[in-house]
Structure 1
Amino acid sequence: MQDILPIFRLWKARTGWMAAGIILSLLAVLAGLLMMALAGRLTAAAVVAGVIAAPVLLRVTGVARVVLRYAERVVTHEATFRALADVRVWFFSGIAQRLAGGLGLARSGDVLSRAVSDVESLDGLYSRILVPLAGAVLVLPVLVVVLALHSAILALVVGVLFAVSAFLLPVLAARATAAAGERLAVNLSNLRVTVLDAITGLREVRVFGAEGRMLAAVQAREANLLAAQRDVAKSARLAQLASFLLAQAAILSVLVGLGAPAPAAVAAAFLTIAAFETVGGLPRAGALAGYAMAGARRVRATATAPLTSADLDEPQPLPRDSTLRFEGVRFRWQAARTPVLDGLTMEIPSGSRVAILGPSGSGKSTLAQLALRLVQPEEGRILLGGVDITELKATELRSRIALLSQATHLFDDTIRANLLLARPDADERALWAALDAAQIGDMVRALPEKLDTWVGEGGYRFSGGQGRRMALARVLLSPALVVILDEPCAGLDMETEQAFLSTLNDLGRGRTFVLIAHRLLGVEKLDRIWRLSGHHAVAATA
């Protein structure tokens, strides 16, 4: 329950909708019980007094049950959709804080599975479990009281059978499928990871003729998923069978216990049938609850993982000065690995243009992550304007420092929407100024829809150089005074790379520009060069 309770707490804001759904469900259950009781009485006594009134009441209760059941479906589905939306917002907020620097060691397919399938597995907690349980709590005393009017022993027997079917059997089914539900969630995630990986690398798969191997890997994951689904389905069928047998035993007990088919006795028998029908889906829902529990556990584990860098209760105000200083910084990505940086000390003055060079794995990109407080150093500290960045609010720090990485993402939206990500309140003049500064304004003006042109997934409608300039325009639109360019020319040809670096030279002063690269082409205008070597930063001449 420690995994489910946080989900229920998220749903407090939807209490009104959920309560309305439960109330409508209870009214529909009562209408159904009354309808069946009247139907039984009418069937057993077609010519007794009250026969004229019975069909009228039967018609009224039948219509009421249909209307109430429809209203209950509408309200409970609306409540479920709103509740799941709250879970997704909470989940995204959690991963936005914990995976701010990218997925890192997490797998994109696994995160997608948790955001989609695991969240969707929670929809049955309310509509398939809570709502029917509320009905069971209402039906049990009604059933026992009505049967007690005929026989106390019969009421006790049927009441026990009903309680086992409605309360005990779902719990047993949930426990029996807990392991299978966990396997189902994990195997679904593994299948998504494999398929996404195969689709993402489809070009390489075709080039190296590995279609058969990738297909075999997908089929193996699919077989594991189907096996887990079969285990869950088997438990669900057994639970449903047990529920059916309990219902038949209860009906048989009523028929034997009441004896002669008097109108009241037949009404009680019909009432028993209706009562067991209201909870007939609970055992199956209990069997599926194991999957929902696993989904809740996986969602909660991702959304509430420990923060790598949390804000202080009383953070320091953002300093005016933007000088960035690393003092004795030591950092490693995993405890078992050697440090990427060890005792690194380096200062980047406000308003300067600095290059940081070094081979792959030397820690250049790590410096950018550290400066943005996406990761925490083991030792040492990082200062912005003389203030330790751990004492600053993370959102304010990131408003001062912007990053253009080698894998900067353009969203499948318009140019305008992609730019406004950096500054939502920017007017059109500011957007054009940023595009002109990145030397791509003329190209955008030539497009038929200009700023409202769709860029496509990952910016595929534009060349690599054009996409990189749009990303630069987005960075320049932000209010950041420190701009870190992490391998901004990666993947570009030599001519495009030279043109892009020349653009950086034309950017106005007043901001700090930090260029992270493997090498320089000689066209950059720099104030200082740092080289990373042996986990340290060594000053070099420009």
Structure 2
Amino acid sequence: MRAIFAFLPLFVRLKGPLTLTLVLSLVTLAAGTALLGLSGWFLTAAALSTAGAAFNLFAPSAGVRGLSFIRILSRYGEKLSGHDATLKLLSDLRQWLFARLFPLAPLGRRLGRGDLVSRLLGDVEALDTVFLVALGPISTAVLAGVAMTTLLAFLLPGAALVYALAFAGAAIGVPVLLVAASRRTGAEVVAASGRLRGVALDSIEGQQDLVIFGETQSARDQIEAAAGDLARARRRLGFHGTLAAGAVQGSMAIATIGTLVAGLAALEAGSIGGPLMAGLLLAVIASFEACAMLVRSAARLASAAAAAERLQELATMEPAVTDPGAPRPIPDGGAMSLEGVSFGYGPGRRVLSRVNLGIADGSCVAIRGPSGSGKSTIAQLLLRLVDPQAGRVRLNGVDIRTVALADLRRRVALMTQDAPVFHDTIRANLLIGRNDASDEALWQALDAVHLGDFVRSLPRALDTMLGEAGKTLSSGQARRMCLARTLLSNASVIVLDEPTSGLDAETESAFLADLPRITAGKTTIVITHAQVPANYDRVINVQAGRVSADRSAM
């Protein structure tokens, strides 16, 4: 539960809407309780009256109608305010989380993809409704119980203590026990949900290979196993909820019987009338409506607590790299070098071993090698996404560990092999590279990558919407769009990691042949497995984590 309290600053920002939701929820419950109590008093008084003509039917019936309208309007307002606050909380929560995730990039090797997706989706969703389905109803129930106990203390003192104890058991005791009993199961639900998402995501993305190699049944078995684990965990959670619901009903029965016994004694003593006793009895029953909601709330609270712990774990991870205490300035130019660099992702997983590599300012260099040879690791080291275990990476003679990360990444830009085209306009996609770029600069970048004429032919030109993941573009056009975005940056060094990934051989050759012209004036490092045209300044081979002797481009 302490993990949930760590998110209180986000709730405090929305204290106005959340307080309004709580007040409206309390008004709804109070109106419902008063409605049932007044109805009971009204019907009993009318039945007991021997002077029907003299009995005032209009005032009670008007009260019933008025309370009905109040309950309807307050319920509507509660839902409107609560959901609006929840959506705002969701936005704040995602901003909070992503602000903490960016310094942790890349996360691929630290968390499984399915686990990361589960935390970004399922855990956030479990937490964003914590007020609406847990904290809000609990607060409302406690306040309603205090109000009803106070009313009984004045009108039917003999029932006040029994009611208070029964209601406290239903509103506090049962939820606390349910959360304690469901804590482990709630964590299992969250974890099982994450596993199911991960298996489903891997199966969908790898569907073609699974079909080709005849492994669809294996994927189906994994999905069924993960779904079975989730179903069993949810059944256990539901069983706990059923027991808790029974306990709430038992508490309500105790409170009702206690009120009835005290009411009959007071009625016999003449200190209370029959209609008032009937009204109080029905009001007691109605007040337990809040406790009935707490069963669902407490069960959600257990899952929310587990989700909060997972999000806190993610947000408090130590970044792979941090800014130096006293950053140094970066001299002009784009010369980069690796000096005796060794790097590995764990014991026995050495990727680079004592690599020495120098890249001259303004040159266009290709780094070639098979998959797993360490090419992409070099790209991460040049951007300081990771730090070497030994050796140094220098930019213009300065160790990049001594410069501010923001300064480094303004000077060195990276286009990854899976660089995305976003579901937005062409203009918005390009402005990611430099948000103050003029239209003239955008057109220059598009012309440089041979996309200018294509974009001009579109009805809305730069304001044309691109489909999700660039589906309205060919593979070659999508890669060139990402390259144009990278070129727009003011970086003096451009690192392209497998820029022709997913392209056919002809498009790949044309793309690589264009790069030296397109990036003229910038230091360009192309990491690829493909054959490199002769117009590159150098081609460097990487094999098993070592850089072999340079050779001429071919």
Which of 319, 324, 327 is the aligned partner of 1:307? 319
Deviates more, 1:256-265 or 1:113-122: 256-265
CA distance in 2 between counterparts of 1:367 and 1:381 reads 12
Which of 409, 425, 439 is the aligned partner of 2:436? 425
Match of 1:37 in 2: 37
CA distance in 1 between counterparts of 2:544 and 2:70 reads 79
Structure 2 residue 194 is the aligned partner of structure 1 residue 189 = yes
Instruction: Please tell me the residue identity of whatever aligns with 2:336.
Output: L
Moved over 6 A (4+): none
Q: Give 1:96 deviation, angstroms.
A: 2.7
Structure 2 residue 15 is the aligned partner of structure 1 residue 15 = yes
SS at match of 1:480: coil
Contact 2:130 2:300 in 1 (8 A): no
Structure 2 residue 439 is the aligned partner of structure 1 residue 434 = no
Instruction: Please tell me the residue identity of whatever aligns with 2:189.
Output: L
SS at match of 1:104: coil
Q: Give 1:153 deviation, angstroms.
A: 4.6
Q: Give 1:164 deviation, angstroms.
A: 0.5
For these two proteins, the number of residue pairs brought into alignment is 539
Match of 1:224 in 2: 229
Amino-acid identity (%)? 37
Which of 275, 278, 286 is the aligned partner of 1:263? 275
TM-score of the superposition, structure 2-length normalised? 0.90
Which of 391, 394, 418 is the aligned partner of 2:402? 391
Distance 1:163 1:346, change over 3 A: same
Which of 98, 107, 120 is the aligned partner of 1:92? 98
SS at match of 1:263: helix
Distance 1:356 1:508, change over 3 A: closer
Match of 1:200 in 2: 205
Match of 2:414 in 1: 403
1:110-131 per-residue CA deviation (whole Å, 9 max, x = no partner) reads 3222222221112442122222
Structure 2 residue 542 is the aligned partner of structure 1 residue 532 = yes
SS at match of 1:279: helix
SS at match of 1:382: strand
1:268-319 per-residue CA deviation (whole Å, 9 max, x = no partner) reads 2122112211222112311232211122222222233221112345534444
Contact 1:3 1:297 in 2 (8 A): yes
CA distance in 1 between counterparts of 2:130 and 2:481 reads 45
Alignment of 1:373-392 (within 5 A): 373-392=384-403
Structure 2 residue 133 is the aligned partner of structure 1 residue 128 = yes
Contact 1:170 1:283 in 2 (8 A): yes
Contact 1:352 1:511 in 2 (8 A): yes
Distance 1:317 1:12, change over 3 A: farther
CA distance in 2 between counterparts of 1:461 and 1:128 reads 41
Contact 2:365 2:536 in 1 (8 A): no
SS at match of 1:516: strand
1:452-492 per-residue CA deviation (whole Å, 9 max, x = no partner) reads 44443433443333322222212111111101122323443
Structure 2 residue 67 is the aligned partner of structure 1 residue 55 = no
Distance 1:445 1:486, change over 3 A: same
Instruction: Please tell me the residue identity of whatever aligns with 1:532.
Output: V
Alignment of 1:412-491 (within 5 A): 412-491=423-502
Contact 1:146 1:268 in 2 (8 A): no
Instruction: Please tell me the residue identity of whatever aligns with 1:72.
Output: E
Deviates more, 1:164-173 or 1:295-304: 295-304
Deviates more, 1:390-399 or 1:468-477: 390-399
Contact 1:501 1:523 in 2 (8 A): no
Which of 65, 73, 81 is the aligned partner of 1:67? 73
1:11-34 per-residue CA deviation (whole Å, 9 max, x = no partner) reads 222111111111222233333333
Q: Give 1:173 deviation, angstroms.
A: 0.6
Q: Give 1:448 deviation, angstroms.
A: 4.5
Distance 1:124 1:256, change over 3 A: farther
Instruction: Please tell me the residue identity of whatever aligns with 2:419.
Output: T
Contact 2:193 2:230 in 1 (8 A): yes
TM-score of the superposition, structure 1-length normalised? 0.92
Distance 1:28 1:319, change over 3 A: farther
Q: Give 1:511 deviation, angstroms.
A: 1.0
Structure 2 residue 256 is the aligned partner of structure 1 residue 276 = no
CA distance in 2 between counterparts of 1:339 and 1:216 reads 35
SS at match of 2:542: strand
Instruction: Please tell me the residue identity of whatever aligns with 1:45.
Output: A
Instruction: Please tell me the residue identity of whatever aligns with 1:66.
Output: I
Gaps of 5+ in 1: none
Which of 298, 314, 321 is the aligned partner of 2:310? 298
Instruction: Please tell me the residue identity of whatever aligns with 1:202.
Output: Q
Distance 1:130 1:102, change over 3 A: closer
Distance 1:103 1:533, change over 3 A: closer
Match of 1:28 in 2: 28
CA distance in 1 between counterparts of 2:474 and 2:71 reads 62
1:211-236 per-residue CA deviation (whole Å, 9 max, x = no partner) reads 33322322222222211121111111
Structure 2 residue 365 is the aligned partner of structure 1 residue 367 = no
Match of 2:172 in 1: 167
Distance 1:443 1:253, change over 3 A: same
Distance 1:514 1:163, change over 3 A: same
Structure 2 residue 189 is the aligned partner of structure 1 residue 179 = no
Instruction: Please tell me the residue identity of whatever aligns with 2:542.
Output: L
SS at match of 1:424: coil
CA distance in 2 between counterparts of 1:459 and 1:181 reads 39
Gaps of 5+ in 2: 268-272
Contact 2:512 2:533 in 1 (8 A): no
